[in-house]
Structure 1
Amino acid sequence: MPSNIDYSSIRFWVVRAGKGGEFYDTFIKHGLVALGHWNGVIEGLDELPCGGKAKGIDIEQAKASIERLSAENNKAQASKYFNQGRSFIHDMNVKDVVLTTSNDSITVGRILSEPYIDHSPLSYHKHQSKCCDYLIRRKVKWSSIPIAKAKIPHVILRALSASSAIYSLDKHSQTMKHWLDPVHTEGKDAFFSLKINSEDGISNVNIGDIQQAISQIEMIANLLSKKPDSLDNLENLDSFFRRYRESNELHATTQSEFMSPGVIWTVAELADPRVAKLFTLICLCVFSSESPAVELYSTLSSVDTNIIDSTLAAISDSNYINEAIDKLSLNVPSTIPVMTETIEEQSIDDFPPVVDSSNSAL
């Protein structure tokens, strides 16, 4: 079913688990992300912030400390370390999406806590040769299943190519939402994704059929919501569609990787949230084996079910959809589970930090 997550305040981040993902398993095991760029800043403090709350670190003092600790000829690195630490502490928020990577996998999570300072060493197992000593941390709820990089769309992999320890993916937010939550609505915007699983050549004819079907679904969602009687006794959907599109009321756009395998991502700005929901439900009815007919009928409770059924059948018959689905081995991708799970903030007081003896007690 379409999800309705409120993405208005959610940001997207990558936090790397050390060089080459050396602490990837450690991050996942302990349910956190951590950053070591400000270790020197923390170790140089006369007194730690109250309660180990990293937001209590004085920004100007931190900047001066990093510049002092960096070599004179490496001011660019000092600036980078300062900015990345500031982002980890002050720009990330509870419920934001965070990704971390190993050499061959990516795991997606949601941030659960504010940043805190903890000197306890982190290890994946007791025989690990090197423990993670990054002092500034945030709790994370990780997805239970890592995703192989080989199965991730190329556009996502390109977005993950930066080498920084932490960076924002906000400029790729629409792409991220398509990938993480393939069928959802945001107000009057509808998002719908299809995965091309075929490893054979991609036929322009099949792609054209899919794209026209999506445009026809947009038209039908509008009409079922506002003028359902206009679809009664629909005999020729193609000619009806040609007349309708002259009204310039079609707004669905696609972002695609026409590769084998590849993706087709669609976003449509519709008249209102109800029409957006109808668009996603009808797309699922046409393209997915998981037919949400009951929810569709419920949303259109005042519309004759015969009109709904005949209209859905007309889409499939008009565009050779079944052939295109078969030739392209299309399916609707699954939502990454952690995206729809309940995210409850964990108070820093729930996991008091361990402090080394050289610093004042908290």
Structure 2
Amino acid sequence: MKEARRLSPRGGGRAAVLALACAALPLFGAAPALADSIVYAKDGNVWLANPDGSGQYQVTADGSPDHPYRSPSQADDGTIAAGFGDEIVRMRQNGEVLNRIDPPALLDSVSQPLDGPPIDVAISPDGSRIAYTMASYTCPVAAECGARTATAYTAADRLTPPQQGGTTYLRDPSWVTSSRTLQFGGYTHQVNVHDVGAASDAHWFDDWEVVGQPASTDLGDGELNPQGTMLALVRGYGPGATVVWYDVSGNAQTSLPPPPSMRCATGADAGISGPTWSPDGQSLAIADPEGIWVKRGAANCESPAPILAIPGGSQPDWGPAPVNPGPRAQQPGPLPAPSSGATSKPRPVGCAAKKGAAHDRCGYEAALKRCGKAPKARRARCIAAARRAYAISKCNRKHGKSRARCLRAVKRS
């Protein structure tokens, strides 16, 4: 985050750029009390730290860049949930696994099954539920090729049927309350709310409703602060992506307020992602390729400047629990079996027996073999779909919460 700017409600493109040379400025004000924490991903594992970057603690040790933990999030009591392979892992701060969930395939908007790694994982503030998203690039019969997503819920301590909480064709779920999420989609359906158990989501606003049609672009990867007064999200994509935060009037926790008003934006930064609010709703943590930046006093665009609190970190989630992992188990027993609705699972064979990049490559090669047997008229389309699916799989594993830009890039390729 090299710069930020103040935005007028409908004139963001004309706003003056405010230099925030973070490295050249002293830390702002007195250090706040360390009563909260940021959970994040680094080097394929889950970590915790105080918001100023101190007290960094490695929660997991079995992840790697080729087989990483993805999208870690935390409940108010510090319980962590993250994606790992095809599972959702719920754990304590010291890495003790409470349970693992292997969610079933979800149906996308053209009734095709989406399976594989959950790319977004968000545990509710009260720790009772987990929202998760699956994605794939498909070329179904009688429908256009495209990247498609679906989002569902499960109880945090066991697998529950997706139909129980309701499913959507959206992505990037973040919790507004323990029974309502924000979710994001494409044009005309960009920012939405979904109440657990509701048959469908409710559209809140699109970018064009705030900035006008000529200047509108993509919105996603957002979070409402716990007080419901401010919203932060990623606006745009590629080298033009920024994080924008807004003032919210009305009550997004129980109703649909009018479109919010832009307050501030970071400078354009390829790879910027994952804005997350402090428990008091006054500060933001934002990830970019350098690491995780913390902007205190978000109501003021100019000062204090953001600081690079956690170099090398990504996918942050800020919660009220302090960093207090306690001792690790000296001789941990076997991990709990994943909850999948079945009493047991057969030993995996073929591609299912492989992990990480090897699993993706095996599936890609198998898909190419199937394409070779397809009718000649469909062969080229089949191969193109296999290549795009492989590209998305690699993106999911490598980039975690930055994968939305990958999905759009693959779709345009």
The alignment's TM-score, normalised by the length of structure 2, stands at 0.20
Larger relative helix fraction: 1
The structure showing larger relative contact order (alpha-carbon pairs under 8 Å, at least 6 residues apart) is 1
The alignment's TM-score, normalised by the length of structure 1, stands at 0.22
Which structure's CA Rg is the greater one?
A: 1
Larger relative strand fraction: 2
